[in-house]
Every structure is written in structure tokens, then in C-alpha cells.
Structure 1
Amino acid sequence: MRRWTRIVVIVVLVATGALALLWTQQRRLIYFPAPGPVPSAAAVWSGARDVVIRTADGVDLGAWFFPAAQRGPAVVVFNGNGGDRSMRAALALALRRMGLSVLLFDYRGYGGNPGRPTEEGLATDARAARDWLAAQREVDPGRLVYFGESLGGAVAVGLAVVHPPAALILRSPFTSLADVGAVHFRWLPVRHLLIDRYPSIDRIADVDAPVLVIAGDRDDIVPTGLSRRLFDAAAEPKEFVLVPGAGHNDRALLDGRQMLDAIEGFLGHTSLPGT
């Protein structure tokens, strides 16, 4: 009996230690920042500008601005959980060819920026990026578009509730981080352990803007079903586009023709002049 008691105690201690480790290190499993440095914007396009965005809590964020030829609508891109803004350069150039000014920026802790990423920190970064873009002379602040990629989709949804955009584009979005975690870590009590939760499913119905959701049918990071559930919870007007054969990080979901055509058509439907 004593032997079994010892075994039970050991198992409990090991399990407790594993859960404690997961609790303290969980953000390392959520955020995968490229440390930088990031090249100059001019290396991507001669007309692009390197800029610095100061957040409300005093963090300086590196960014690239791609101004359109004339004043008009603009897009701020909210990155996913990995890499840095240089990985989204092709998207920015494609959007600019549609007549849009584009802002690419890195969250705190990404691309050589100071700080560490958290849900609250990314929300603060998003507000600063939006405010900076709205203040540019090339931009009509009444025609701002938010583009959120994966985790950035949750950041964009949170911002859209507080500061409604002219249009909201979500690429591979999820219902909540807990739902994604439950898919990949079914044996762990993810819903009870998460510090950063990104509950887009609880927010999306309060977004007062046209919504476009784009998903790949071979996404093994964010299952298509989660993107579809988020779309179903959004208010009208809204559109859903499924890109066949596309996985989460495939080029088709960066600047693929079907995705770009869907974006251009969607923005045209929202009556954004210049698109």
C-alpha cells in the first residue's frame, strides 16, 4: 500500500511540475518572434519609408509605410504570431497596387522591438499603429481597413470593436486561442491554463464593419472549421472565401491570386474609392 502511495505522490508531483512549467512558459509556445534586425523598407520598394510608432506605454515599434500615389484608403496589417514584417512585404506591395496605402509593423518583442508580447501588449501596439496610420497625410482616416493574419486576426477583431474600420479582413482567423490550443494539446487543460486568450468569438458580433474571412482548406494550424465558426458569428455584410489546397503558411495565403482577387472585390463592394 505504501508503495502505491509513493507512486501516486510521484505522479502527482511530476504532473504538477509539468503544469507549472507550462503555465510559466506558455507564451513561448504562442509567440515566435524573429529577433531582427529588419532590413530597410527601401530594400523592398524605393517609395517605402521606415517609421517608428510610439505606443501609449512608451514602446517604440519599427514599421514600414507604403504610401499610395494619392490620398485615399489605407490598410494596417496585423501579423500572425511568427516572424516579422519583412515576411509580409509581398502582401503590402500587392495591396498598394490596388491603390491602398499600407502599414506593416512589428509588435513589441518582434523585429528587434523592445518588450515582450502579451495579449494586452499587442492590443496596445494595434491601437498605436492604427492611430499613426490615420494621421498620415496620404490617408483618409474614414477609410481604414484592418487586415489580420491568424493571431493578428484576433488582434484586429479586438481593435475593430473599439475603433470600427471601414472594412475588416481576416485571414485564417480562429474563434479563440483556447480553441486552437485544444486542437493541438488535447491531453492538457488548455482552457484553464491560458493567460492570453484572444476570445474573438465573443467579440466579432460587435464589429460594425463589413467582414471578409479567408481560409485555406488544408490549414493544419488553424482548422478551417474555426474560421468558419467565427465567420458565422459575424454580423452582415460578410463574405467567406475558401482557398483550395492552401495550408496555413502557404504562399497562396500571402499574395495568391485568389486571395487578392477576393480582397479587391470585397473592398470594391464596400465602396472604398480608389480600390
Structure 2
Amino acid sequence: MLLALRTGLVTFGTVYVAVLALLTLPYFQTHAVFLNAIRIPWKGQLDKPELYGLAPGKAANLYITTPDNVTLGAWFILADPLYQQLDFPPAKDAASSNIAKALQEYPTILFFHGNAATRAFHVRVQQYSAFTSRLRANVFTIDYRGFGDSQGKPSEDGLATDARAAWDWLISQGARAEDILIVGHSLGTAVSATLGAQLSTEGIRPKGLTLMSPFSTLQGLIDNYYFFGTFPLMLPLTWIPGATDAYKRFLVHEFNTMSKISRIKIPILILHAENDWDVCSAHSEALFGVLLEPFLPGVDAPSNAAMSSWTLEEWNANSEQVLKRKVARDSLVKRETIDGFGTIETFEGSGERAVWLKTLAGSHDRVGLLEGVHEMMRRTFGM
């Protein structure tokens, strides 16, 4: 029994060390971050959206070209109210021939999906259908470079270029910036935040930004990532002083939404499921905290950083500042609890609305399918 246990632990340790060692290499790390080699559905016919549940003629399969000459596969999906005006069965080019009309008459969701799979992944298709029906919006979604039928290889800068190309394509087709809601899920939240910050820097104002199941930074995600929701990835390394920080220096990609979100000058909705076992909801709380921080009084740490060495006066001063900060937060943030659904925290900062919705259900991938989430999106952005 003890021999079997020891053998098992040695095997686990060997595999664990081997995996971590491979992930220090840019090639393996990139594949682990993007998982673009997992092309679900396998051998998918992405030029036929109807095969994946969308109504005939409702979605146009398109290809757009980025400034660095990479071709990306994309779908433009008509809002339900417009689609229902068409004859049925519709003409073969019904969706593509109605793009201009759709952009003029209905808002559009620019959707950036997470890692792995393609734009035809069944959960994503269900989200498109919900957005076109419940929000009465068009949906434009792309497969990043290296995903689906798109050319190229993924990188952090490459995905940012792809996102801007998708935005620019919508504008070139007649969309108004104020009619476009940027929505990202998981990895797509980092892509969306990068685009949102870039547009804000240029004085361009989309309708808003929705971050579904976001992570604050890639480093932060690694710190508390659990394999299959059970085993903490970095736990064994924490037993070695300094090993975790040393390991993270090998990270090629940053995806640092924390450093960008405060530069986004449009309404923001952050939503996360409490039962998300892939990305802890604390990431959303941290992002909401960054938005709130400029409006809260600071807390000055005593010159002696070791709390055990603080004087009574220093303890009292610190406690008073912490209390003032809590009172200020309570006065700024409106908090509501909806029985059976979750909690909503809202505040207005510099004229921009920020909302954090923490749902009780939805997990990582399906939080965007909750009807209550759609209602929150509709009310937050006036759709």
C-alpha cells in the first residue's frame, strides 16, 4: 500500500515538473494559453452556419483582412426582428444583402470568444441566438488568427489587431460607434478590454463593454487556477520560497486587463458566476475595484511595513482610514441582491456607469446564457 502510494506520488511529481518545464517554453505556453489547436467542432464547415443551429439565411459567413494581411473567418448574424421580416425560406444571400440595413436599424454586439474551439462551438451559438432574440441585436463574431478557418498564428498583439480589424469592418459597413456593444468572454475579455482602451484613447465611444467571466491578468489567473476545479496549479511551487515568482517570469503573454480597464471611458458591465471553477470570481471583484479606486480615500501604511511593529497610534490611524474607505464605498456603490439569481453592485464614476453582476449559477461557459444576464445587459446599455 505504501509502495503504491509512493509510486503514485513520484509519478505525479514527475509529470507535474515535466508539464511546468514545458510551459516555460514559448511554443508550448502559447498552445496552452490559446488552445487554438482544439478546433471544436472537428472538421467544421464554418461556411455553413445553419449546420450549427442558426436559422437558414440568418447568418452570413464572411472573411475580413487585418492590417497585417491575415484573413479571419467571421459570422454576421441578423437581429431577430429584421430576420423575421424576410421571406421564408430566405434567399441564399439574405444575411449578406441585409447587413447595411441591419447596422442602421439595430444595435450590434461585437463578440470575442474565449480560448479553444471556434465561432461554431455550440455554447457560443446559443449565446448568439440569445443576443439576437432577447437583445434584438445583430452579432458580429470572428475567429482570431490561428482559430477555426482563420489564417496565421495567435499572439497577444495579433488578437488585438484582429479585434480592431473587426471593429473597423463594422464601421466600414455603416455601423455607428454608439450602436456597437463590445462583449468578450474569458480570454475574449482581455481582447475586448484592449480594444476598449484603444478606442477610448482615440475618443471613440462604443455603446459599452461587457466582460463575461474575465480574469484580471494572466499571472493572476495562474496564481489561483484549479485543474478541473479541484487541484490548484501552483500549489506545489508555493512550497519552495520564491519559486512561483521565478516561474511567472517565463510568461510570454500578459493579458493585463487590470492595467487597461481604468482607461476605458464607456459604461462597463462585469459579470461572473459564483460557481465558475475555471476563473475565480475574485478576478471580477478586482477589476470592479480598479474602476472604483479613484473615488475612494486612500489608506496610508505606516513607514514600518511589518504590522507586528506598528505602534498603537499607527494601528488607530490605519483603522480609521480603513473605516472611512468602507463608508465611502458604501455611499458610492448601490448593492442589490436578487433572490435565486445573484448580487448587483453599481456606481457612477465620472459620468460612466460601472456594474458588477455576480450570479449564483452559470459556471464559466454558460453565464452568458442566463436570461437575467441578458436583462442586465439590456438595462445597462439601453438596448
TM-score class, shorter = 0.7 to 0.9
For the Cα contact (< 8 Å) 2:111–2:182, is it kept in 1? yes
Q: In 1, are the aligned partners of 2:362 and 2:368 still within 8 Å (CA)?
A: no
CA distance in 2, matches of 1:17, 1:260: 39
Where 2:183 maps in the other structure, the secondary structure is: strand
Q: What fraction of aligned residue pairs are identical, expressed as a percent? A: 27
The one-letter amino acid paired with 1:50 is N
1:169 aligned residue (202, 210, 222): 210
Aligned to 1:205: 262
One of 124, 134, 137 as aligned partner of 2:171: 134
Q: Summarize the Cα distance change of 1:173–1:147 in structure 2 as closer, same or farther, 3 Å threshold.
A: same
C-alpha spacing 1:190/1:265, structure 2 compared with 1 (3 Å) = farther
Structure 1: gaps spanning 5 or more residues:
1-14, 269-274
Instruction: Check whether the contact 1:174–1:180 (CA below 8 A) recurs between aligned residues.
Output: yes
Instruction: Tell me the alpha carbon deviations over residues 194-230 of structure 1, each in whole angstroms, 9 at most, x when there is no partner.
Output: 1110111011001010000010001121110011101
Give the C-alpha shift of residue 245 in structure 1: 2.9
2:373 matched to 1:259? yes
1:143-182 aligned at under 5 Å gives the runs 143-164=179-200, 165-182=206-223
- Structure 1 residues 241 and 60: alpha-carbon distance in aligned structure 2, compared to 1, 3 A threshold: same
Distance (whole Å) between structure 1 residues aligned to residue 117 and residue 163 of structure 2: 17
Distance 1:84 1:197 in 2: 22
Which amino acid in 1 is paired with 2:369?
D
- What residue identity is the alignment partner of 1:175? S
Distance 1:29 1:149, change over 3 A: same
Query: How many angstroms apart in 2 are the aligned matches of 1:38 and 1:104?
Result: 16
- 1:60 equivalent to 2:71? Answer yes
- Could you tell me which residue of structure 2 aligns to residue 195 of structure 1? 252
Distance 1:190 1:167, change over 3 A: farther
Displacement, 1:132?
A: 0.8
State which of 92, 110, 116 in structure 2 corresponds to 1:76: 110
Could you say what secondary structure the match of 1:195 adopts? coil
Q: Describe the shift of the 1:79–1:16 C-alpha distance in structure 2 as closer, same or farther (beyond 3 A).
A: closer
Gaps of at least 5 residues in structure 2 are 1-16, 83-101, 201-205, 226-232, 238-243, 293-348
Cα distance in 2 between the residues matched to 1:75 and 1:136: 14
The residue number in structure 1 matching 2:49 is 41
TM-score by length of 1: 0.85
Query: What does 1:108-123 align with in structure 2 at a 5 Å threshold?
Result: 108-123=145-160
For the residue of structure 1 that corresponds to 2:173, the secondary structure is coil
Deviations 1:140-171 (A, max 9, x none): 23321110101100110011011142200000
Deviation at 1:21, TM superposition (A): 5.5
**1:30 corresponding residue in structure 2:** 33
Partner in structure 1 of residue 90 of structure 2: none
Separation in 1 of the partners of 2:165 and 2:285?
29
What SS class does the counterpart of residue 200 from structure 1 fall into?
Answer: coil
Q: CA deviation at 1:74?
A: 1.2
CA RMSD in angstroms comes to 2.2
Matched, 1:224 2:261: no
Which protein has the larger Cα radius of gyration, Structure 1 or Structure 2? 2
Q: CA deviation at 1:181?
A: 1.1
CA contact (8 A) 1:134 1:144 kept: no
> Using a 3 Å threshold, how does the CA distance of structure 1 residues 204 and 21 change in structure 2: closer, same or farther?
closer
Could you say what secondary structure the match of 2:25 adopts? Answer: helix
Q: What residue identity is the alignment partner of 1:166?
A: K
Name the TM-score, length of structure 2 as normaliser: 0.62
